[in-house]
Structure 1
Amino acid sequence: MNNLDDEEYLTGYHCDAVYKKQVIPENQGNAFIEAIPDRLNAHKLYEALYSAPRFKGDVSKLDIEDRLALVQQIRKSFWLPLSGHFYRYRQYYNMIKIGYQSRNPYSPSYNRQYALGLDKVFNSGVDEEGRNIAGVNHTAEGFADIGLSGMGKSVTNKRILQLFPQVIHHKSYKGRQLTKAQVVWLHVECPSSKSVSQLSRNFFAAVDKALGSGSNFFEKFGEKAGTIEVLAQRMVKVANQINLGVLLIDEIQKVHRAHSGGDERMIEFITELTNTIGIPVVIVGNLKSLYLFKSSLANSRRAIPDSYVENITDRMVEGELNTNGEKAITEWDDFIEALWEFQYTLSRVPLTEEFKSQMYYHCIGIPDIAVKLFMHVQCQAIVNGGDERITQNLINSVASKSLKLLQPMFERVRRGESAVLIEFENKDIHWTEFNEYFKEAAHRVYVHGKLAQEHERAIQQKNRMSILEDLIAFTSKMSKSIEEAESIAQRVFESSNGMGDLNSMYQHVAKLVMESQETSTRSQTKNKVAQFPKLKKNKGELPLMDISDIRYIVKAGEQKKMSIEESLLDADLIKDPLEFNLL
């Protein structure tokens, strides 16, 4: 399909349109709205969202390895719907239907947009009343889900999206032909390359992934460069063609200001998708993404739809005693009680108020940290042997080691300095015991995904010589001699003692090789300049190299205003630094 096939894209199910009678007059007579399934009630929504480890047997009959494996299943399988998730589902459901109100496939004004041309409609913008030149006043809404890492924002939004069909296939509506595919939702993750251009490419690839074989939007639009305005225009055109219900842009904090043209340019890029053609947009990110809103939203309110909502996700609150000495029940109580059920130690320990308070103290109400800490405590209890009981001393001991880097910050939070949590986004949770295990393991251990990110330095430390060998092999593909390759690779490697960011090291050696070759070329040219007549320089012409040559790839990327990192990533020449084997 395209050169992004290896990327993972969130997908959902396809279905044929079944039209439902609508109570709200604004929703009646609109095939796109009537094809949306009925809203789930609270009970059905809970059943659809809840998930838990499926093991129901007697753990006392299992060996240590099986019980340790069950503990690892908790984080993968456990997910508890909370009150905020029900609100978010209603928000999505209403937003999708309202967004389609101004996009009735049989509306004359809506179809007038196609007659005028979507490019012309987009370039003309909207008038003071919010109408575009086709006379359409779009009803699209949008919201931002911003909050602390570990609160489950991305998982929540993904799970809710997958409750809706991703693609609805229309054939006829009330006796009239209607051969259209309606993409109800699309999930796009911001790229690690931090560029808006790569974000748009991810969008087109996600569209092709959703529609399946035969869709070639990436080939048509994704491989072309352009300004932010042009990229947004292409995305709007395709979103309109596929009748997109809502676009979710996840991990928005990855889009760096320097790559996006500034805070306000990024906000403009997102709001352009909403205002002119009427695409509801949801953006999700951690506290790092607050830079997008800190000044831009305050200074550019006229560009933000009136219906725009900002959701800031805070950590869970621990219940406090009231005047009668009774403790209020909070989401933290519901969460920890549900989590505590999944004990795979030989001795089950009931959850007491003391355990609740102790767990909250160490994780300060962040669910992801609570789950990890609970897993680590169980693993330690099982490895210690004996009756394998979870105790307060064991929780304190594991937390003091596993959360060592976070505890000073958490202590400031306990003193009331909540603003310090923004620093949390710049900290990597360092799970000391697992890192030591990786370094000391005599057998082969494969680490992928998020777990690999959490233990990257431990993995990297054990693989220092393999990293150097890979770095030399990579450099030799660009260099004229193996001696030069070894020299450059060794210099970059030793500058960080082999513990620097791996992608940065690849970029650094590529830059040094290019500089070395340019210096060599200038020297040779200077020595021979008197021997040859001057030739007219062809601007923009690449040197004669094979297209697979890394020098060619980097040079070609420069002409497209791409960084070395973006060029190498685009050509799939930089490996995932986290997928190393521990020997």
Structure 2
Amino acid sequence: MSEKKHQPAVYRPTGLPHYDGNPLIEALPPILSDDDVARMILHSPLKPTEAERSLPAKLRVHGVNRLTDAVIPLEIHLHLEDIFSQLLRHGYTGRHPFHRDTVAMLHASSTEDIRHSGFKSSASTMTLVGLSGMGKTTALNAIARLYPQTIRHAEYAGRPFIQTQVVWLKIECPHDGSLRGFCAAFFAALDEALSVNQYSKLMTTRLNISILLQRIAQLCRSFFIGALIIDELQHLNSARVGNGKETLLNFFVTLSNEAGIPLVYVGTNAMVPLFSGVLRNARRAVGMGVVSFDRFSADDDYWRYLVQRLWEYDWTGSPEPLTTALEDKVYDLTQGNTDFLVKLLTLAQRYVIYEGLPKVSEAILQRVYNEQMRLLHKPIEALRSGDPLQIADFEDMMPAKDQIAQMMNFDTARRARRADLALISNINATSKREKANEPSANPMVPVSKSIDSNIAKEIAESSDLDAALSAEGWIDDKPW
């Protein structure tokens, strides 16, 4: 849980006349400079020291996982923060909690009442779109954490103001794109933000979807939600029931227009067609702009900077300086995708450490790609082709998240199996030698083949365990 999750309101004038005097805006953190944003977003895990690099392999591989925690601010992060800051604050200008039209909107019991309340929404939208693995969600999470999620108000300018303000709420569109799944995700996220267990209980009732959506709209108004972030929006393409897709998209538009809630759409390129069918949806999706997370080109300065920073996290025995040849190889095997970059560097270091090799080389990067990243070959080859038609199918080529997790853990499991076999074999051999020197009280059944520790070691280091065991007669495939 973020230390900024709940905060009491502290009011700070901004110096901007259309912001000052609005407690919902003055309670937000100060508007940040680019330097402040970069400093606050940056997350640099501890880099390995010489002492850490000299630790046993079993310990060093734990350090490699720190590489996945690094967040390196880039130009796109600064652009994203600037737009999000404007979206949030401008969205509150039309919802001054002491203005008559806002109060009327809050107490409206129907859409018709809202339309006659005099309330005019100042909400807009922003859209984050791009290929999987380009850091959209990571970047947005880092930006959102610059703000407290909830602010508790008690008094403003000498007048009572008892209010809980939810600055941002992030939900993930359900995999099946269902309306009920969306409602459940919203209520769960709101409970989490408020540290309560109240609104999720609405899903146990027999309320129909229409009533649940009305309840969501009312809660968005009541808690003055500053921005509703909807991640993985491309999942709406999976909606199968009736006109659920159109119903939810229209609900988003209504939420922005009538409740004044700014929206942040996040998804892969597959979500773009969702907005092409309805003009007002397309217009709303553009809003304050589209932030596109495209893959980096090989000569992009920010890509080189990112690779250089991540290359510093090297737990191998003899860290290799990053040469132009290594940079070229890294790009060829990742095609400018940041997630693929982290996976390649992580797997390569694990391989070097487990095999007792001195450093990461071009050959090792290629071998790791060939043997351990096979699941990603098709999408990477699509990017490498430069063919727009193949790249358009990138998301369909991507394996499921659980498959990728298995890919990342396969090498660890394989090494553990080999290590366990060597350990058990050596223990068995030692035990047999000890027992051979002891007097036997009972006759023993002779075995046809003894276990030699040297043979066990060779088998343990074999790339094909089953074949090696069969060759030594430890596995008999013949029928009994």
TM superposition score normalised by structure 1? 0.66
Question: 1:227 deviation in Å?
Answer: 5.5
How far apart are the structure 1 equivalents of 2:211 and 2:419?
49
Do 1:138 and 1:277's aligned partners in 2 also have CA atoms closer than 8 Å? yes
Q: Does 1:424 align with 2:382?
A: no
How far apart are the structure 1 equivalents of 2:298 and 2:353?
29
Question: 1:57 deviation in Å?
Answer: 2.7
Could you report, residue by residue, the CA deviation over 1:244-277 in whole angstroms, capped at 9, with x for unpaired residues? 1111111222332314725433321221221111
Q: Residue 61 of structure 2 aligns with which residue?
A: 68
Q: Residue 233 of structure 2 aligns with which residue?
A: 252
For these two proteins, the number of residue pairs brought into alignment is 413
- 2:223 is aligned, of 229, 234, 242, to 242
Q: Residue 339 of structure 1 aligns with which residue?
A: 310
Q: Residue 262 of structure 2 aligns with which residue?
A: 280
Question: 1:52 deviation in Å?
Answer: 2.5
Q: Residue 297 of structure 2 aligns with which residue?
A: 317
How far apart are the structure 1 equivalents of 2:360 and 2:166?
49
Q: Residue 367 of structure 1 aligns with which residue?
A: 338
Q: Does 1:194 align with 2:177?
A: yes
AA matched with 2:338 = P
Q: Residue 361 of structure 2 aligns with which residue?
A: 391
Cα RMSD of the aligned pairs, angstroms, is 2.7
Do 1:149 and 1:286's aligned partners in 2 also have CA atoms closer than 8 Å? yes
Q: Does 1:109 align with 2:93?
A: no
Do 1:10 and 1:187's aligned partners in 2 also have CA atoms closer than 8 Å? no
Q: Residue 438 of structure 1 aligns with which residue?
A: 413
Shift of the 225–94 alpha-carbon distance from structure 1 to 2, 3 Å rule, reads farther
Q: Residue 119 of structure 1 aligns with which residue?
A: 109
Larger Rg: 2
AA matched with 2:6 = H
Question: 1:335 deviation in Å?
Answer: 0.5
Q: Residue 474 of structure 2 aligns with which residue?
A: none
2:240 match: secondary structure: helix
Do 1:201 and 1:223's aligned partners in 2 also have CA atoms closer than 8 Å? no
AA matched with 1:208 = D
How far apart are the structure 2 equivalents of 1:309 and 1:222?
34
2:109 match: secondary structure: helix
How far apart are the structure 1 equivalents of 2:274 and 2:3?
28
Question: 1:36 deviation in Å?
Answer: 0.9
1:264 match: secondary structure: helix
Q: Residue 381 of structure 1 aligns with which residue?
A: 352
AA matched with 1:309 = G
Q: Residue 30 of structure 1 aligns with which residue?
A: 22
**More displaced, 371-380 or 37-46?**
37-46
Question: 1:166 deviation in Å?
Answer: 0.9
1:165 match: secondary structure: coil
How far apart are the structure 2 equivalents of 1:109 and 1:179?
19
Q: Residue 462 of structure 2 aligns with which residue?
A: none
AA matched with 2:359 = R
Do 2:167 and 2:227's aligned partners in 1 also have CA atoms closer than 8 Å? yes
Question: 1:410 deviation in Å?
Answer: 3.1
Shift of the 411–204 alpha-carbon distance from structure 1 to 2, 3 Å rule, reads closer
2:211 match: secondary structure: helix
Shift of the 205–443 alpha-carbon distance from structure 1 to 2, 3 Å rule, reads farther
How far apart are the structure 2 equivalents of 1:149 and 1:362?
16
Shift of the 378–118 alpha-carbon distance from structure 1 to 2, 3 Å rule, reads same
| 1:102-501 equivalence runs, <5 A | 102-114=94-106, 117-120=107-110, 122-123=111-112, 132-213=115-196, 216-219=198-201, 221-225=202-206, 229-255=210-236, 256-259=238-241, 261=243, 263-293=245-275, 295-297=276-278, 299-301=279-281, 304=284, 307-319=287-299, 330-386=301-357, 388-426=358-396, 427-428=398-399, 434-435=409-410, 438=413, 441-442=416-417
**More displaced, 188-197 or 400-409?**
400-409
How far apart are the structure 2 equivalents of 1:406 and 1:24?
49
Question: 1:341 deviation in Å?
Answer: 0.3
How far apart are the structure 2 equivalents of 1:392 and 1:338?
18
Gapped regions of structure 1 (runs ≥ 5): 1-8, 126-131, 320-328, 446-583
How far apart are the structure 1 equivalents of 2:313 and 2:378?
29
How far apart are the structure 2 equivalents of 1:443 and 1:397?
19
How far apart are the structure 1 equivalents of 2:410 and 2:378?
20
Could you report, residue by residue, the CA deviation over 1:360-387 in whole angstroms, capped at 9, with x for unpaired residues? 111000001011101111111122224x
Do 1:263 and 1:291's aligned partners in 2 also have CA atoms closer than 8 Å? no
AA matched with 2:163 = K
How far apart are the structure 2 equivalents of 1:270 and 1:277?
10
Could you report, residue by residue, the CA deviation over 1:93-146 in whole angstroms, capped at 9, with x for unpaired residues? 1111111111111101111224xx4332x2467xxxxxx311111000111212
Q: Residue 518 of structure 1 aligns with which residue?
A: none
AA matched with 1:68 = V
How far apart are the structure 2 equivalents of 1:171 and 1:347?
58
How far apart are the structure 1 equivalents of 2:327 and 2:262?
40
1:304 match: secondary structure: helix
Question: 1:41 deviation in Å?
Answer: 1.7
Gapped regions of structure 2 (runs ≥ 5): 421-480
1:43 match: secondary structure: helix
Could you report, residue by residue, the CA deviation over 1:141-161 in whole angstroms, capped at 9, with x for unpaired residues? 111212111111111111111
Identity %: 27
AA matched with 2:253 = T
Do 2:83 and 2:288's aligned partners in 1 also have CA atoms closer than 8 Å? no
Do 1:15 and 1:169's aligned partners in 2 also have CA atoms closer than 8 Å? yes
Shift of the 12–268 alpha-carbon distance from structure 1 to 2, 3 Å rule, reads farther
How far apart are the structure 2 equivalents of 1:260 and 1:422?
27
Could you report, residue by residue, the CA deviation over 1:275-300 in whole angstroms, capped at 9, with x for unpaired residues? 1111011121123323423x334x44
Shift of the 432–92 alpha-carbon distance from structure 1 to 2, 3 Å rule, reads closer
Question: 1:190 deviation in Å?
Answer: 2.0
Do 1:401 and 1:432's aligned partners in 2 also have CA atoms closer than 8 Å? no
How far apart are the structure 1 equivalents of 2:200 and 2:360?
53
Q: Does 1:85 align with 2:77?
A: yes
Do 1:347 and 1:389's aligned partners in 2 also have CA atoms closer than 8 Å? yes
Shift of the 56–301 alpha-carbon distance from structure 1 to 2, 3 Å rule, reads closer
How far apart are the structure 1 equivalents of 2:75 and 2:156?
37
TM superposition score normalised by structure 2? 0.79
